[in-house]
Amino acid sequence: MAAVAANPSATAEDPEPQREAVPGLESQRRQIENVESGRERPLRAGESWFLVEQHWYRQWEVYVQGGAQDSSTFPGCINNAKLFEDQINWCLKKGLVEGEDYVLLPSAAWHFLVGLYGLEQGQPPIERKVVELRGTQKVEVYPVELLLVQHSDMGTPHSAQFSQIDSIDLVLRTAREKFLVRPEKETRLWVKNSQGSFERLCNTRVTVLDAALKSGQLVVMETRSKDGTWPSTQPQAGNKASKEDEDFQGQPGICGLTNLGNTCFMNSALQCLSNVPQLTEYFLKNRYLEELNFCNPLGMKGEIAEAYADLVKQAWSGHHRSIVPQMFKTKVGHFASQFLGYQQHDSQELLSFLLDGLHEDLNRVKKKEYVELCDAAGRPDHEVAQEAWQNHKRRNDSVIVDTFHGLFKSTLVCPDCGNVSVTFDPFCYLSVPLPVSHKRVMEVFFVSMDPRRKPEQHRLVVPKKGKISDLCVALAKHTGVSPERMMVADVFSHRFYKIYQLEESLSGILDRDDIFIYEVSGRSAICENSREDVVLPIYLRERTPARDYNNSYYGLMLFGHPLLVSVPRDRLSWDSLYHILLYRLSRYVTRPSSDDEDDGDEKDVAAKDSIPKPGHVAGGSSQNPGPEQAGPSSGVAGGSRAPVNNSPGPSHWPQRARRKHLFTLQTVNSNGTSDRSNFNEDTQAQPYIAIDWEPEMKKRYYNEVEAEGYVKHDCVGYVLKKAPVRLRECIELFTTMETLEKENPWFCPSCKQHQLATKKLDLWKLPETLIIHLKRFSYTRFSREKLDTLVEFPLRDLDFSEFVKPHNESAPELYKYDLIAVSNHYGGLRDGHYTTFACNKDSGQWHYFDDNSVSPVTENQIESKAAYVLFYQRQDVARRLHPQPDLSDPPAPPACGQPPNTEFMDVN
């Protein structure tokens, strides 16, 4: 006993320990009970304390208080046997009470005692953590006991104890050790809740307490399959197909994406992003796991990053010909409602959302600080740029920033005071405009005053920002008719939707509108209000029997093309108008023969009455007739030239007093739907006249086929050939100085008011991977169109040195880029299709991705009118990631499946 006391650290395992000086008993007591390192010190959250059996500790107290080291009260080795249920699993007994069953010692005191007295052989130390619950610290005597199982073997759980302040990462590491999972294998955890369902333990950095894990809960660890999928995501019925996929071995990355229903836009964006080498390597090597940001309020709780990682791992496993991105689509719709459902969307918009979502989910900045934006205020550009980039990185630091973010220099100049504002702003991609033609092709129908001539279809080239008068001038070159004798109207549903004035803009006319240009008389007097001719809008209507209770009511239905007819002011009577209109309709309306004459029973009871004179004749109205109300708005300019017509007009026809009328005339509203008996001159209203036909008379005398006939002018066979533009021109246009629009003025800090300043963007810092979005879709208040201009872009050596100011001449590789992917859009605005060209990072071979179909292509197939979003890799980054391929290699094999033909017919 004395020997042990003289060297209390001696144990059976250390028969000849090195002898050291043993502290005195009083020194031992002070060491254990002092308030700095002993049991009286306050608890601190996170530190370890140890349980010591109460009886042994009391014996030790008696021993050290006795003052004799060879006393019979020597306690011997620390023995906690009374605290355990058994000596196999070493589980603590339930209901142990501090001060009755055990005492607590801090780590330093415990190791001091173990060093002096030793621990009973085979017994584990009872180490417990200090946790903070509801603001108070306490030693967690009974830790959380979890049951760990593998997804592949749910029947044999392993018990493991964890403190409430232990991280979920420790639980995962413990499970990996118990189940002998290899380091390269990726694993994740699920916990079974009280309802019996399983929930993911996504954030492994939170504690067991924060995850609300309780003793006895089942925690399942699953291991990612070699084909990149998780066992939990495989339906039971799909196990066979999954086995077939695992047996398949192809080129990693050459994997299609199934179209779930108008999701080609998403597939195209994903294929492009998947072929960015450094980003894909980041996910394949699991570097994202350490950077998942689950608490970012601007992020998506890491779910978008995890969904994208799953997609990349499957596509690059080499075990799939095609995968179904259903889970990814669901996640996108959950966080971005605009992508819910299965409508067609824009691949660039999806790409923008995805890059932003991945950035926030992987943002290394856990708590964003407030950063005040500072103007240059005369400081050197490099100083301001460096400050702006550092401020950006203080709030935004992720693999997306490392890969895709660059820096703009924005210069604003006030037009009044000349104040110059210089700022530097980050960007993720360049949206460059296409050089747009200032010309526009419009199709119109020309209706001559000569009734023998059919309407002519013309294709006219006019200024895109021109006026109605420009349309008339262009048509005059084809017809020889003076623009002053033309009126332009939009015809819709057999009526005049609008009659245009000469000074109105052409932007109000859509490509789908049916535009008719009518030849009218140019005769007018000097005085505006005493024109010799009046232009009358004429509608055609047919009486149709309507179903009424007595079948006696007749409705009126519009048909055919309306007319604008010039009528001499001195012949404004119903009878004269009847004969004028009969003459204008003579090409497709047959005049009655002598056999058709009656005995004087004329239906036109108002034949000799005058038409109510309009208060505002054609040419003088400033109103625009619409569906509900219309005015003349002829836009006919003054002039004295009369129409050249050698045909006998109605005034030369032999007149008979008793001739049967084919139709009746009626004044109507602008829609032709309701009759008007008279017009008040004070209303300044334009009279609309309807030609009403009885069904039998229309069938007998009206030739519908001839009435609808028209001829095509030679110009219809020609279109403007769109010359290709170079990508360099688009970038030059992007960096060209422009004046701000009225809707988006700049507040000048010097003038203290909003100004239409001049703005210029310059490229200051370029990213490793540069995304260039070609702005093919044009949207205005009046029109929406897609520009199918061919943009010529280089596959190699795209040089930005002349666009970056200032650039480092000693490092030209910082400004040269090679193409790695292209998102294509085929078709129009409403019915388009997206595909992808991409260069595989491992093989260097280009492939064409069309949803779940993938085929190799040659480089000369990549450039087309469908190119929409371009991905360029900086050459120094490419050399860093992979050595340059041998340019002496034979050319790529011809494509197995050719991409769709993108050539549209161009005729000179």
pLDDT tens, residue by residue, 687-718: 899 999 999 999 999 999 999 999 998 888 77
Tokens 């330093």, located at residue: 108
Which residues 6+ apart lie within 8 Å of 11 measured at CB?
17, 77, 118, 121
Distance CA 457, CA 513 (A): 14
Instruction: Please return the burial class of 453, using the count of CB atoms within 10 Å of its CB with bins 0-12, 13-18 and 19+.
Output: middle
Residue 653 has pLDDT above 50, yes or no: no
Residue 514 has pLDDT above 70, yes or no: yes
Least confident of 15-19, 347-351, 842-846, 872-876: 15-19
78 and 150 co-located in one domain: no
The larger pLDDT score, comparing residue 38 to residue 656, is at: 38
Distance CA 497, CA 685 (A): 16
93 and 214 co-located in one domain: no
Highest mean pLDDT of the ranges 138-152, 261-275, 598-612, 823-837: 261-275
**Number of structural domains the chain divides into:** 3
Residue 475 has pLDDT above 60, yes or no: yes
Tokens 């199934």, located at residue: 258
Average pLDDT for 224-239: 74
pLDDT digits (tens, 9 = 90+) for 121-142: 999 999 999 988 778 889 989 9
Least confident of 46-50, 59-63, 630-634, 874-878: 630-634
82 and 203 co-located in one domain: no
154 inside domain: yes
User: Which of 223, 250, 267 is the last residue in one of the domains?
Assistant: 223
Residue 312 has pLDDT above 50, yes or no: yes
65 and 200 co-located in one domain: no
Residue 682 has pLDDT above 70, yes or no: no
Least confident of 164-173, 203-212, 633-642, 826-835: 633-642
Residue whose C-alpha is closest to residue 576's, from 651, 678, 679: 651
pLDDT digits (tens, 9 = 90+) for 384-405: 999 999 999 999 999 999 999 9
**Residue 811: left (phi > 0), alpha (psi -120 to 50), or beta?**
beta
Question: What is the band of 41 on the pLDDT scale with cuts at 50, 70, 90?
Answer: confident
Amino acid at 831: D
Distance CA 59, CA 113 (A): 13
121 and 30 co-located in one domain: yes
Distance CA 871, CA 260 (A): 25
pLDDT for res 527:
35
Q: Are 669 and 688 in contact (CB under 8 A)?
A: yes
72 and 150 co-located in one domain: no
Distance CA 709, CA 456 (A): 9
Which residues 6+ apart lie within 8 Å of 122 measured at CB?
87
751 and 851 co-located in one domain: yes
Q: Are 256 and 183 in contact (CB under 8 A)?
A: no
203 and 168 co-located in one domain: yes
Measured CA to CA in angstroms, residue 211 lies from 44, 201, 206, 260, 301 at distances of 22, 8, 7, 35, 15
Q: What is the mean pLDDT of the chain?
A: 82
Question: What is the band of 237 on the pLDDT scale with cuts at 50, 70, 90?
Answer: very low
Question: What is the band of 373 on the pLDDT scale with cuts at 50, 70, 90?
Answer: confident
Amino acid at 516: F
Q: Cα 781 to chain center, whole Å?
A: 21
Distance CA 115, CA 104 (A): 17
The reply to whether omega before 806 is within 30° of 0 (cis) is: yes
Residue 448 has pLDDT above 80, yes or no: yes
729 and 766 co-located in one domain: yes
Q: What is the CATH number of the domain that holds 51?
A: 3.30.2230.10
Q: Are 489 and 518 in contact (CB under 8 A)?
A: yes
Least confident of 745-759, 760-774, 833-847: 745-759
Report which DSSP code applies to 209. T
Q: Are 876 and 818 in contact (CB under 8 A)?
A: no
Amino acid at 738: E
Q: Cα 287 to chain center, whole Å?
A: 27
The first and second tokens of residue 312, run together, are 């990349």
Give the active site residue among 264, 272, 730, 839. 264
Residue 231, Cβ neighbours under 10 Å: how many? Answer: 14
What is the domain extent for residue 76?
A: 25-138
The first and second tokens of residue 263, run together, are 């999701």
Measured CA to CA in angstroms, residue 298 lies from 176, 357, 358, 360, 539 at distances of 33, 8, 11, 6, 61
Q: How many CA atoms lie within 13 A of 97 on its CB side?
A: 2
Question: What is the band of 751 on the pLDDT scale with cuts at 50, 70, 90?
Answer: confident
454 inside domain: no
Distance CA 411, CA 426 (A): 14
With b for 16 or more beta-carbon neighbours within 10 A and e for fewer, the 535-562 pattern comes to bbbbbbbbbeeeeeeeeeeeebebbbbb
Q: What is the CATH number of the domain that holds 183?
A: 3.10.20.90
Residue 830 has pLDDT above 90, yes or no: no
Measured CA to CA in angstroms, residue 138 lies from 26, 46, 128, 141, 347 at distances of 29, 10, 10, 9, 55
The larger pLDDT score, comparing residue 593 to residue 222, is at: 222
Q: Are 19 and 9 in contact (CB under 8 A)?
A: no
Q: Are 837 and 862 in contact (CB under 8 A)?
A: yes
The larger pLDDT score, comparing residue 645 to residue 504, is at: 504
pLDDT for res 594:
61
69 and 43 co-located in one domain: yes
286 inside domain: no
Question: What is the band of 657 on the pLDDT scale with cuts at 50, 70, 90?
Answer: very low
Question: What is the band of 470 on the pLDDT scale with cuts at 50, 70, 90?
Answer: very high
Distance CA 469, CA 490 (A): 15
Q: Are 865 and 908 in contact (CB under 8 A)?
A: no
Instruction: Name residue 148's beta-bridge partners.
Output: 158, 219
The larger pLDDT score, comparing residue 67 to residue 218, is at: 218
Does 833 qualify as catalytic in the annotation? yes
134 inside domain: yes
337 inside domain: no
E strands along 553-608, which residues? 554-558, 563-568
Residue 817 has pLDDT above 70, yes or no: yes
Distance CA 453, CA 388 (A): 70
Instruction: Name residue 834's beta-bridge partners.
Output: 825
The first and second tokens of residue 438, run together, are 């200032």
User: Which of 122, 138, 154 is the last residue in one of the domains?
Assistant: 138
Distance CA 563, CA 693 (A): 16
Residue whose C-alpha is closest to residue 848's, from 868, 828, 821, 880: 821
SS3 788: coil
pLDDT for res 617:
34
Do the strands 515-519 and 439-447 form a parallel or antiparallel pair, or are they unpaired?
Answer: parallel
241 inside domain: no
Residues above pLDDT 70, as percent of the chain? 82
Measured CA to CA in angstroms, residue 134 lies from 129, 138, 306 at distances of 16, 10, 33
Q: What is the CATH number of the domain that holds 821?
A: 3.90.70.10
SS3 358: helix
Average pLDDT for 670-690: 68
pLDDT for res 86:
87
Distance CA 803, CA 826 (A): 30
Question: What is the band of 69 on the pLDDT scale with cuts at 50, 70, 90?
Answer: confident
Q: Are 87 and 75 in contact (CB under 8 A)?
A: no
The larger pLDDT score, comparing residue 860 to residue 630, is at: 860
Rg (CA), the chain: 44
Report which DSSP code applies to 526. S
Backbone angles phi, psi at 836, to 5 degrees: -145, 140
204 and 125 co-located in one domain: no
710 inside domain: no
Distance CA 695, CA 544 (A): 7
With b for 16 or more beta-carbon neighbours within 10 A and e for fewer, the 342-353 pattern comes to eebbbbbebbbb
Residue whose C-alpha is closest to residue 538's, from 467, 451, 656, 623: 451
pLDDT for res 602:
42
Residue 368 has pLDDT above 70, yes or no: yes
pLDDT for res 404:
97
Report which DSSP code applies to 883. P
Distance CA 71, CA 600 (A): 153
User: Which of 179, 207, 223 is the last residue in one of the domains?
Assistant: 223
Distance CA 399, CA 289 (A): 12
Give the active site residue among 472, 833, 839, 847. 833
| pTM for the predicted model, two decimal places | 0.68
- Cα-Cα-Cα-Cα torsion 567, 571, 575, 579, nearest 10 degrees, comes to -50
Question: What is the band of 554 on the pLDDT scale with cuts at 50, 70, 90?
Answer: low
**Helix or strand run (H / E) with residue 552:** none
Residue 287 has pLDDT above 70, yes or no: yes
Report which DSSP code applies to 841. T
Least confident of 332-341, 452-461, 825-834: 825-834
Query: What does the DSSP assignment read for 646-695?
Result: -S--GGGSPP-SS---SEEEEEE-TTSSSB-S---GGGTPPPEEEEEE-H
Distance CA 661, CA 601 (A): 10
82 inside domain: yes
851 and 737 co-located in one domain: yes
Kindly give the interhelix angle for 326-335 and 347-361, rounded to the nearest 10 degrees: 80
pLDDT for res 605:
38
Least confident of 3-12, 422-431, 437-446, 810-819: 3-12
pLDDT digits (tens, 9 = 90+) for 852-870: 999 999 999 999 999 999 9
